[in-house]
């Protein structure tokens, strides 16, 4: 499969984040192995999983493209496997991400996707939980509300990437905590046995944004959507890390 330059940054990502991506591609939300995965029997998986994940970034990228190509984008496949950007746009359409532009870069699209997903998660949080997110992050807003938090996220994306990553990560953590607290996550705890890694990723958000809707999307999206969200999250983190010097906190 042709290597997509949009996924080349994976080789610089943190081990734990890559592991979450790998778990999403190989296991479903209750810890069962995916029938169509082809990662877990490849040589690089055997040598790299779980503590040298950078060594298998190319296999991760190919597997993501394969899932996107085989299951979602059959109709536009040209024998080469779809580009990551095509998969990403397809996921955004499915997740009802608004104001996408034809000229948007992959980074732009991904960040809009992250905001949409976070906004959905925030919508499910209670007042106390919103307050704790906003207090944990030094967000310069007056209004402690859902709308305030979403608005802050949209602003931060442009003005302060460091804080943008921080808020997204906090929303994610609070969401997971809320899930565990309400017992919503208990049905999906299978994944916990795999070192908790995947629940700390997009699964947490997606659970709270409505699992029933999620299930209706069909098996293909259940792999590709969380995988793409995880990649989006990893890229924001990577971008912030690589030019953190330029950004004023």
Q: Which residues would be at the binding site for another protein (CB under 8 A)? A: 32-33, 35, 37, 40-41, 43, 46-47, 49-51, 193
C-alpha distances in Å from residue 78, one per residue of 17, 61, 86: 31, 18, 12
Nearer to another protein, 36 or 242 (CB): 36
Q: CB within 8 A of 18, min separation 6: which ones?
A: 10, 53, 54, 57, 60, 234
Report d(CA 143, CA 217) in Å as an integer.
35
Nearer to another protein, 40 or 155 (CB): 40
Nearer to another protein, 94 or 194 (CB): 194
Nearer to another protein, 32 or 93 (CB): 32
Shortest Å, Cβ 40 to another protein: 4
Shortest Å, Cβ 107 to another protein: 33
Residues 106 and 7 sit within 8 Å (Cβ to Cβ): no
Nearer to another protein, 44 or 155 (CB): 44
Nearer to another protein, 4 or 63 (CB): 63
Report d(CA 113, CA 92) in Å as an integer.
6
Shortest Å, Cβ 47 to another protein: 5
b/e code 145-155 from CB counts within 10 Å (16+ = b): ebebbbebbee
Residues 165 and 139 sit within 8 Å (Cβ to Cβ): no
Shortest Å, Cβ 37 to another protein: 8
Nearer to another protein, 174 or 188 (CB): 188
Shortest Å, Cβ 233 to another protein: 25
CA 51: distance to chain centroid?
Answer: 20
Shortest Å, Cβ 54 to another protein: 14
Report d(CA 181, CA 175) in Å as an integer.
10
Shortest Å, Cβ 221 to another protein: 20
């Amino acid at each position: 499969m042709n290597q997509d330059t949009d996924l080349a940054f994976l080789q610089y990502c943190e081990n734990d984040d890559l592991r979450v991506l790998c778990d999403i591609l190989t296991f479903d939300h209750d810890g069962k192995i995916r029938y169509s995965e082809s990662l877990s029997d490849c040589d690089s998986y055997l040598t790299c999983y779980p503590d040298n994940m950078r060594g298998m970034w190319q296999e991760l990228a190919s597997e993501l493209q394969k899932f996107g190509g085989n299951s979602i984008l059959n109709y536009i496949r040209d024998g080469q496997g779809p580009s990551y950007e095509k998969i990403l746009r397809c996921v955004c359409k499915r997740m009802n991400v608004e104001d996408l532009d034809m000229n948007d870069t992959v980074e732009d699209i991904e960040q809009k996707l992250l905001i949409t997903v976070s906004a959905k998660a925030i919508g499910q949080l209670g007042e106390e939980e919103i307050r704790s997110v906003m207090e944990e992050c030094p967000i310069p807003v007056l209004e402690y509300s859902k709308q305030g938090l979403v608005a802050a996220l949209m602003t931060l994306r442009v003005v302060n990437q460091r804080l943008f990553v921080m808020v997204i990560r906090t929303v994610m953590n609070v969401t997971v905590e809320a899930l565990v607290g309400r017992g919503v996550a208990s049905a999906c705890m299978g994944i916990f046995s795999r070192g908790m890694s995947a629940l700390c990723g997009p699964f947490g958000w997606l659970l709270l944004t409505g699992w029933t809707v999620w299930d209706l999307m069909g098996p293909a999206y259940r792999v590709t959507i969380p995988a793409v969200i995880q990649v989006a999250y990893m890229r924001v983190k990577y971008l912030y890390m690589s030019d953190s010097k330029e950004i004023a906190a």
